[in-house]
Amino acid sequence: MMVYVSKYPKGKNYFSTVWRAGPFLAALAFGSYGVPMKGEAATRVNVDPLVFQTYKASVVLLTSSLLIVVNNLMANFESTENKDPSVKTFNPWSIYDFTPWAFVSASMWVPGGTAGVYAIRRAGLAISVGLWSCVIVILSFVWGVLVFHEKQRSGVRGAMKALAVLCTGLCGIAYFSSFEAESKSERQQWDKVTKHAEKENIEVRESTPLMELADAEKENSMSLDFETYPHCGVPPHSHQTIHIDPPAFLCPDGRPKKHTIHIPEYNIGICMAVLNGVFAASIMVPLHYAPPSATQGVGYSMSFGIAAVVVVLAVWIIRWLFHSSLYLRSDRDDHMGNKGSTDIIVALSKGYKSLPSFHVREMWRSGLLSGLLYSVGNLMGIVSIQRLGNFMGYSLNQSSIIVSGLWGIFYYKEISGVLHMLGFLLSACVVFVGILLLSREHV
């Protein structure tokens, strides 16, 4: 998640209600923007994570543009009504205030956000948001203490105690979120699906992509999802597996083997949640190097919105070229190494057709809602940091794990059993206490 720092002068504030509600609205929005990612529309079309991230980036740019328009109008009004030019609440933004440091932030947000979409759809909303929120707080603390040498109230010992409390809550979240909500018969059905995929005799060639899912497994899993879990993209703890076939260059004789490695998608989702936390914790770092004129007010949000769309387009181009290179290599193997411009054009065409669909009719509502909630949380995160300070405001924003936990428990049924639910909520409260202890360490 993304937050920006701006130092407004102290004085009369026309938005005192927004100041007070900022942290709570940020937590509510950040804890809810992942809900559409597991909705029925996303499940029906099996939306690609990068597609959903593209929707989010587009909405971030749109909302940032609207905020800039409002900000500039208010700045003009303030300049005409304010008798003291030294006191400003709004700072006008122009294209000359764009900072290239926004590309650094966007380069971490796009892959991190894509990994977050995958984590929510495969591991679950509650555990995914819980994991990356804790990672964000811990790494943000490390950035502040070790890199930027921010002073701590209780020294290293106090900081380590706060981290210990936070890690205790994190272990509780991971433990109670691992309990599966599936019945014995449902697990047996998933086992049948997996065994059926293992029996598929797929010819493995040197040009075959490393990661591919069996079509039969996809179809069976989709039907099971809607029958048992009508709100979510996969069962709370997915038994789907990704089959990885070793490439030829890893085999002793240069020929690919029939051996296949099965990795549960739930485990990959957990790793993706941690990866998203690592990227999100570092998004704020470029703010320390950007010029002050670029970080005042909502100016950095506009720079970030532009950079996010550019980075998303670059990722799509890289993905297209990668798919095209696989087709080109396959065609050249079939034609005994013959090369030609026609082969390249055909490969580019095949690579483009292999890209996932945006499913605009089915996904525009979910994509718009998710991006809008993220933008609201982002804006309220700015407000909370301006009012409460960097560590306190940013840490309170991470209380979104409680909101996402409630969504995961009561809406997606990701955790079964009253004791398990209470254990998860208690662990989330422990994490929140650890977050507050960390925030108190900042001087």
Same domain, 398 and 280: yes
Rounded to 5°, angle at Cα 258 from 252 and 260: 100
Residue 338, domain extent: 194-265+329-349
Nearest to 93 by CA among 251, 247, 306: 306
Residues 6+ apart with CB under 8 A from 354: 323, 327
Same domain, 85 and 131: yes
How confident is the model over 76-91, as pLDDT tens digits? 887 777 666 666 667 7
Residue 300: predicted pLDDT: 78
Task: Please say whether the beta carbons of 117 and 123 come within 8 A.
Answer: no
Task: Please say whether the beta carbons of 349 and 361 come within 8 A.
Answer: no
pLDDT, the chain, mean:
75
Q: What is the CB neighbour count within 10 angstroms for residue 337?
A: 7
User: How many structural domains is the chain composed of?
Assistant: 2
Last residue of a domain, one of 295, 316, 349: 349
Residue 420: predicted pLDDT: 86
Last residue of a domain, one of 319, 349, 379: 349
Nearest to 442 by CA among 139, 141, 24, 161: 141
Q: Would residue 416 count as lying in a domain?
A: yes
How confident is the model over 22-54, as pLDDT tens digits? 778 888 998 899 899 888 888 888 889 999 999
CA distances from 351 to 45, 209, 242, 309 (A): 20, 13, 22, 21
Q: Would residue 5 count as lying in a domain?
A: no
Q: Would residue 249 count as lying in a domain?
A: yes
Nearest to 132 by CA among 140, 410, 366: 140
Query: What angle in degrees, to the nearest 10, is found between the helix axes of 299-334 and 101-122?
Result: 70
For the record, the structure tokens of 297 come out as 């007010």
Same domain, 77 and 202: no
Question: For 108-133, what is the mean pLDDT?
Answer: 89
Task: Please say whether the beta carbons of 361 and 41 come within 8 A.
Answer: no
